[in-house]
């Protein structure tokens, strides 16, 4: 396993918070499953990580909870396995990590999410996040 304690920020209710580059390294090494919990619209319009598993925690436009979330996450991650969750900014992925922990998985939230925080003009994609850090991604 490639992680060390200094890479993980403790968090209540799940295994911890990690930086995008740490999540990418674990995922590429096969040490964790990368699950993108953004809506289908976000994945289609904003971009995605090729090879990640898409399991929305909520779905656009209603933002209703995905009733199959538990089933889909459990199908994607081996029992007792490690999973890293990605959303837009690192908020919905906390809820996903908490739920996955309840399901018996070792779950982490990816800080900054796919797009990072808004900049001074309220635009995302320049202040942190998976995409701005130059990690693998693609767009339809």
Kindly list the domain boundaries of the chain, sorted by start residue: 15-110
Q: Distance between CA atoms of 39 and 54, rounded to whole angstroms?
A: 9
> Cα–Cα distance between 31 and 49 in angstroms, integer?
17
CATH architecture, domain 15-110: 3-Layer(aba) Sandwich (3.40)
Distance CA 96, CA 77 (A): 13
In eight-state DSSP terms, residue 107 is: E
Per-residue pLDDT for 2 more than 90? Answer: no
Q: Given this model, what pLDDT does residue 121 score?
A: 81
Q: Band of the pLDDT at 66, cuts 50, 70, 90?
A: very high
Predicted pLDDT at 4? 57
User: Is 127's pLDDT higher than 90?
Assistant: no
So what's the pLDDT on residue 1? 46
DSSP H helices in 68-117? 69-76, 92-102
Q: How many residues does the chain have?
A: 140
Alpha helices (H) in the chain, listed in sequence order: 20-29, 40-46, 69-76, 92-102
pTM attached to this predicted model: 0.92
CA dihedral 114, 13, 11, 51 (to 10 degrees): -30
Is the pLDDT confidence value at 116 over 50?
yes
Pick 109 or 122 by higher pLDDT: 109
pLDDT at 126: 79
């Amino acid at each position: 396993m490639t992680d060390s304690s200094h890479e993980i920020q403790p968090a209540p209710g799940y295994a911890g918070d990690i930086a995008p580059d740490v999540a990418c390294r674990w995922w590429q090494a096969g040490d964790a499953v990368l699950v993108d919990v953004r809506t289908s619209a976000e994945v289609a319009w904003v971009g995605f990580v090729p090879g990640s598993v898409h399991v929305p925690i909520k779905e656009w436009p209603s933002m209703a909870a995905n009733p199959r979330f538990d089933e889909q996450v459990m199908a994607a991650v081996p029992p007792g396995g490690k999973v890293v969750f990605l959303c837009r900014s690192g908020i919905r992925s906390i809820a996903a990590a908490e739920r996955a922990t309840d399901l018996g998985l070792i779950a982490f939230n990816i800080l900054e999410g796919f797009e990072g925080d808004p900049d001074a003009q309220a635009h995302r994609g320049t202040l942190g996040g998976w995409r701005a850090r130059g990690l693998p991604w693609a767009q339809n």
